[in-house]
Structure formats: structure tokens, C-alpha cells
A = this chain, B = another copy of it.
């Protein structure tokens, strides 16, 4: 089924058929309708390859990611796809681990296929993908990974997210708020911990460790193991740590949230919802970030002007039960 078939069936030339279907050119309204009707009847669908050859637009973009685990990329991906499907744009998925050679292969495959743009996504704000995207013939948007000079980069506003968490604890009457978090060499850890310090003061030095339940456990052990006043709230660097913290507190007979409020970060459903009690957490809005990234490459691909630089997207507090209190929005 090609446009030839449509033209033949409608008794017009292929140029007329084309113009009828694209609502361009000038012709009798009745001719246009007839062509359209017949195209519908015989199930004509234009070949995107042929169309792309002419228009220099493939209605295709590539998503490059090194987050094989999918924890961060998955929501970003969902957002991108959701935003673009309405515009007829499809997404190539390119998982490159941390392999530069594999990255190169995927980038070349994408360019061969004439993608209209590329979104680079990662699992860390302060790391680059292992492939150079700085001088490609197509626009590139960085989402949740470090971009190059003068690029467009989208990231979550971790400082604002941390403030949200700590202010929520303060608002619930908590005054002795501790902070147990991940490795200090993570940019987001530093962002979150300085925001924490601004709001909470320095009741307790920040406890840096690793992104694991076991570290949450261990940190609770060390806080409760030494003398002195105990926290009445703990702001955790991610949900896994928070889960370890909650479990450790329960094992010590400390009630959450009655005695101690706990708030996590990431709002990772599988962890946050299965914790007893379920975790109040900060959501980085990765799906929204993906949506924005999608619309941004699209704009760039269409030649619309986009201000380069880093754009921070706001985080959101998701209230469950580990802090007490009720969602301010409910």
C-alpha cells in the first residue's frame, strides 16, 4: 500500500494525493475528502523512511544511558516516551553500561538512522557518560548526568528537595534532626547535606557512608551507642538507608514515627512502600524530568531556540507514615 495505490484508487495523480493527505496545496474540498476517505479505506500509512529522506526529520530520537539497573533511567524514559509519542516521535534505547566502545557503536547507529536528537541520561549528576557527545550533528540534551560546556542539562534540585524534607520534620515539631547519607564524593550528597545544615543547624555531624540498608543500620547503632541526647528525626540520603534506619530503630524498640521521624530520598516505591512503616520520601520528579528532556530535544530538533545551561527541576515531598503528619496537599 503506497501513495501510488491511493492515487490510482482515487483517480488522481500522486502529487494530488500527497497534497490531499497533507492538507497542503489547493484543490477541490471534495477531491481532498475523497482521497482521504480512500486512503483510510485501503489502510494507507505513509512510509516514514521515505518521508524522512525528504524532510530531514526522522521523528526518532535516541536515549543513551549507562543506568542498566534502571532505577533512575526508567522513570526518565517513561517521561520522555510519554511526552514524545503524541508528537509521533519514537525513542531508540541505547544501554551502554560504562563501555566507551559500546557507547560509540550506539551513537553511530543512531546517527546512521538519522535521529533528530539525543538525550543522554545517567545515574549520577556529577558523572559524564563514557562517550563524547559535544560535536554531533544533532542536538543533545543531558538529563540526570553531567553535560558539556554550553549544553542543555536538566537535573533535580537536590538542595530544594533536602530543604523540603527537613522543613517538613521541623514543622512536625522535630528539633533534633540527624542526617545519615551516602558517600561524600557524590555531588547530590553534598547538595543535600549543605541544605540540611542550613535548615537544621548542626545538632549532629552528618554521617556519610554508603547507599545501603546496612549503613543505615550501622549508623543508628553508632548514634544510639554513644552517650548524649538522641535525635527525634532522621533525614536519610536515600530510601535504602532509610529502610535500614527504620529496621534498626524497630529492633531497638524505638517507635517510628512516635519517637523518631524518618524521611527518605528517591521515593523508590519498592523500598519506600515495603518498609514498616512505609517511608515518607522525597521524589525527584524524574518522570517530569524525562518529559521536559523530551520536549526540549524536540524543540531543538525543530530549530526553536533553547537557552543553554543547567535547569533544575523541583522535588516533591511524598507523605507516607514514617514521619507522622499528613500530606500538606491533602
- What residues of chain A have their CB less than 8 Å away from a CB belonging to chain B? 45-50, 52-53, 58-60, 63, 68-70, 74, 77-78, 81, 85, 88, 90-95, 102, 105-106, 108-114, 212-214, 240, 269-271, 274
Contact = CB atoms under 8 A, between A and B. Distances in A.
B91 A92 contact: yes
A49 B113 contact: yes
* 7 closest residue pairs by CB, A with B: A93-B93, A48-B112, A70-B74, A48-B113, A49-B52, A90-B92, A49-B49
A329 to B, nearest CB: 24
Given A240-B274, A270-B270, A109 B93 contact: no
Contacts of A269: 69
A85 B112 contact: no
Nearest to A62: B90
Nearest to A268: B270
A270 B108 CA distance: 33
A56 to B, nearest CB: 10
A91 B95 CA distance: 10
Contacts of A63: 93
Given A90-B109, A213-B274, A270-B271, 13 more contacts: A45-B112, A46-B112, A48-B112, A49-B53, A60-B113, A68-B74, A70-B70, A81-B93, A81-B94, A85-B102, A90-B94, A91-B93, A270-B270
B113 A90 contact: yes
Contact of A93 (B59, B77, B111, B270): B77
A214 B273 CA distance: 11
A58 to B, nearest CB: 6
A88 B110 CA distance: 10
A95 B114 contact: no
Contacts of A113: 48-49, 59-60, 90
Nearest to A244: B274
Nearest to A275: B213
Contacts of A213: 274
A42 to B, nearest CB: 14
A118 B48 CA distance: 17
Contact of A77 (B78, B95, B105): B95
Contacts of A90: 92, 94, 109-110, 113
B109 A85 contact: yes
B68 A58 contact: no
A327 to B, nearest CB: 22
A213 B45 CA distance: 48
A5 to B, nearest CB: 15
A294 to B, nearest CB: 12
